[in-house]
Structure 1
Amino acid sequence: MTADLDFALDDLDPADLDSEQTESLLWPGDLTVLAEHTTAPYGSHSYVVAHDTSATWGVPGAPQLVAIKVARDLTLRTFTLESQYHASLPFAQAWLIERGCPPEKIAVAEGDFAAAADEQTLRVEQKVRDGGQRYDVLDTWTSDNDPCENWTLAHDQAAAEHPVRVFLETVDPETRTYTVREGAFPDESAAREWLDERDGPLPQPPEDHTDADAQRTRVALARSAGAPHATACGLDTLPAPSASATRQPGPGRSR
């Protein structure tokens, strides 16, 4: 994990108004890099997942992780800049993968973070990362106090039954582990009622028993990479990575 973020946009101009506005809203001093990848050899594209520390003091429940894509045209001396906020790391990674980032390059979040508590957690996370445009996010919530959790409410376009899904991530600060569970609901109203009442376990997705084997294979690959995990909960209190931790030089311009 590093607090240094430089978008490497010196001597480049925004290619459009959206890029100019996005740059003006992203303050490198507020962003802690969790994972990043810059293409070689010329650095034409960069992909970043960062924790926005300012979000902790902003609107209650607002997402705190931001996915950023930078594309540089070194011939025209211009750049395009896109970003989107997410409540959880897998959704941020999926957004970047859908925009061209190799999955293995953004799969490892750096630093000494919480560990997945079980295989089911890894399986659900990999399902989200592999989802592409499968999930339409309807709402999110992040709490970095008690309870330390985030959830993403989404519509699963691939679901034949109960297409509204809740992805609930809960962190146990004492054991430094986290769990992710997916719940399936017939409609958004039912999902929100569960989120408000918490009167029972998340209802299991009906298709879970059919795709568990394929997911287990993907989870094994993710586990072999030894990827730690970053959550919004407690990021400011986690220790820094050891001096031996390595990563590619990131994108970045300081203001």
Structure 2
Amino acid sequence: MKDIAQALRGWTPEDPASEATIEYLTLEPELFEVVSSHQAGDQRFLVAFDWNTIGGPPGMNRALAVHVAFDPGTHRCRVHARGAPTFGWAGRWLVGRGADPRAVADYRPVPDDPYNLGPGDRAEGLISGQDYGFTRPGSRATRLIEDRVRRCGDRYRFLDSANAYPSFFNGEREATFVLLQDRHPRAVGRRFLIQLETVNVQRATYTITEGGFRTLAQARDWIDGIDAYAGTTPLLSATDPVTGLAPLGLPAPVRDRVAPVQGAATVARRTR
């Protein structure tokens, strides 16, 4: 974030929100690990990891989306930021503000020695699962899901997100879930979607799995079934990694059948 802090020097914030955001980002810019960044004309779009979230309350938004718009004519700038539970959802907010989905997905490579420990002490993987800024997608399916999230428009209604379990309980994995209402026409019967993003500490990667539920109560029951201390989650129903819907060929969830109301003409025919 240091390059943005330098780029903002001498520019006047256009509104109080921009002024507050600039102060937050430039006070200690090294606390933001930039994951992706691209420029389009006089605008900059960034996805970053917020180191301020380490040690904070569970469920804090550790990903951060930043949108900077410069106005050379007035030498003013608008700087807005939005926290998100994952990099994919941070990218979704930026795409909604005009970012190129492909550019947002162009993640910077993780440094060979991200902790600056030196050649002899270089860490393999992550020292802690909380070091989310040093992770990258670990599978093609995960990249496809993230791409759908970034391009989803108003398809999903965001309901909840939280840390499922931290890595310090079992040392190998850390997980975050996102609960959504899916407005896709094909999602009838499974409107409530859970995305589970799991960080593999040893590989410094994350993978996303999804599962749909017929009711919000069923989705909440799945969340309640997470064993945070063991670092385990119940199985999620299989989904197509492109659409986020049940794979083709699988039967749709059974819907309640409501008996049709008999009209007066029908009743009259039966009584003749």
Note whether the superposition's TM-score is higher than 0.5: yes
Q: Could you say if the C-alpha distance between residues 108 and 168 of structure 1 is closer, same or farther in structure 2, counting changes exceeding 3 Å?
A: same
Normalising by structure 1, report the TM-score: 0.71
Aligned residue identity for 1:207: L
Q: List runs of 5+ in structure 1 lacking aligned partners.
A: 212-255
1:153 aligns with 2:153: no
Q: Could you say if the C-alpha distance between residues 126 and 162 of structure 1 is closer, same or farther in structure 2, counting changes exceeding 3 Å?
A: same
Q: Could you say if the C-alpha distance between residues 52 and 124 of structure 1 is closer, same or farther in structure 2, counting changes exceeding 3 Å?
A: same
Alignment RMSD? 2.5
The equivalent residue for 1:171 is: 199
Q: List runs of 5+ in structure 2 lacking aligned partners.
A: 111-133, 227-232, 250-272
5 Å-filtered alignment, 1:30-179, equals 30-40=31-41, 44-112=42-110, 114=135, 116-142=137-163, 144-146=166-168, 147-158=173-184, 159-179=187-207
Aligned-partner Cα distance in 2 for 1:92–1:20? 21
Q: Could you say if the C-alpha distance between residues 114 and 9 of structure 1 is closer, same or farther in structure 2, counting changes exceeding 3 Å?
A: closer
Aligned residue identity for 2:245: E
SS at match of 1:203: coil
The equivalent residue for 2:225 is: 197
SS at match of 2:221: helix
Q: Is the 8 A contact 1:155 1:165 kept in 2?
A: yes
Aligned-partner Cα distance in 1 for 2:69–2:94? 12
**Equivalences, count:** 206
5 Å-filtered alignment, 1:208-223, equals 208-210=246-248
Task: Give deviations 1:107-149, integer Å, cap 9, x for gaps.
Answer: 1111235564544333322221221232222222235524411
Identical pairs, percent: 27
SS at match of 2:61: coil
Q: Is the 8 A contact 2:174 2:200 kept in 1?
A: yes
Q: Could you say if the C-alpha distance between residues 116 and 48 of structure 1 is closer, same or farther in structure 2, counting changes exceeding 3 Å?
A: closer
Q: Could you say if the C-alpha distance between residues 181 and 19 of structure 1 is closer, same or farther in structure 2, counting changes exceeding 3 Å?
A: same
Aligned-partner Cα distance in 2 for 1:52–1:16? 23
Aligned-partner Cα distance in 2 for 1:116–1:38? 23
SS at match of 1:6: helix
- Higher RCO (Cα < 8 Å, 6 or more apart): 1
Aligned residue identity for 1:200: P
5 Å-filtered alignment, 1:217-236, equals none
The equivalent residue for 2:121 is: none
SS at match of 1:60: coil
Aligned residue identity for 1:128: V
